[in-house]
Copies of this chain bind each other. A is one copy, B any other.
């Protein structure tokens, strides 16, 4: 699946993933109203609204981008009905030949991570039937529990030709509280290094055993909001694909992104969620109006593609 992702990035010339994080405040009123007329002001109505919203955006941008990243929390908040919308979204995007990165940030002790891995990337056997749960192509994984919590995902990736992105340095303001802590080490140089470097090294090691053609299918999450750390982590993890959240609404800019990429122009894929799916709510794209929200999203994808291309060209 990492080969497919890299191939699609090359083909679209867009190292971009659209974050399908459909908070209700992003969903145009006319879509909400139609869903509520059919299913009432209920979780089912909300789920229908976010599904229709997603579908229209995917239809409008799927030829431009390699991948989408639905954030499961935005669906899970509506309980089971929301998760049905998540599942429909995953299926639909796969039909459109998009690579689907399930942003689920799961991670637990070994036997439990096995179950998460089965539910999101693999399958379970029920009697003699193969049952697939959400069946994303990639999933994001939290490393707090150590190897035990990550290896079951890697095992399923090997079996199913899928991939993961392990949280290394997250995009949020307080990510440093734990991730930037300086760790004492017994290395020769005696230098203390931040937790994110330690985790980055671990990701690189896990990834060595899990190579696609040119990159590993054990990737990393490093926020666009921390370009300096991105530069360091790029060096520590040369064969690791980096999923870069935090572009756009969270403050990351094209120029911040260049250090996340390798010389080959590959190695990173940048996520934008609000900046794309709620583009119609921004002044810049207001001319489209709420009715044409999907066209606004398409324009925002094209602008993001251009922003990143210019930044990469400018680094010379």
Contacts and interface: CB of A to CB of B under 8 A. Distances in A.
Number of copies: 2
Contact of A184 (B36, B143, B171, B183): B183
A134 interface: yes
Interface string A19-45: 001011000000010001000111101
A112 B73 contact: yes
Contacts of A313: none
Interface string A61-82: 0000000000101101111101
Quick one: which of A21, A134, A144, A167 has the most chain B CB within 10 A? A144
A73 B106 CA distance: 9
Contact of A111 (B23, B127, B192): B23
A179 B146 contact: yes
B195 A173 contact: no
Contacts of A253: none
Given A76-B119, A80-B83, A143 B106 contact: no
Contacts of A110: 172
A109 B172 contact: yes
Contacts of A133: 43, 76-80, 82
A269 to B, nearest CB: 18
A262 interface: no
A105 interface: yes
A120 B46 CA distance: 17
A195 B181 contact: yes
Contacts of A73: 106, 108, 112-113, 115-116, 119
A260 to B, nearest CB: 18
Contacts of A171: 109
Given A41-B128, A80-B87, A182-B184, A142 B107 contact: yes
Contacts of A113: 73
Quick one: which of A71, A171, A181, A192 has the most chain B CB within 10 A? A181
B175 A145 contact: yes
A314 interface: no
Contacts of A297: none
Interface of A: 21, 23-24, 32, 36, 40-43, 45-46, 71, 73-74, 76-80, 82-84, 87, 105-113, 115-116, 118-120, 124, 126-129, 131-134, 142-149, 167, 170-179, 181-184, 192, 195, 198-199, 202, 245, 250
Given A46-B126, A79-B132, A144-B167, 9 more contacts: A23-B115, A24-B126, A32-B127, A73-B113, A76-B115, A109-B170, A146-B172, A146-B176, A178-B195
Ordered nearest first, which 8 A-B pairs have the shortest CB separation?
Answer: A41-B127, A146-B174, A79-B133, A146-B177, A77-B119, A109-B172, A73-B115, A148-B174
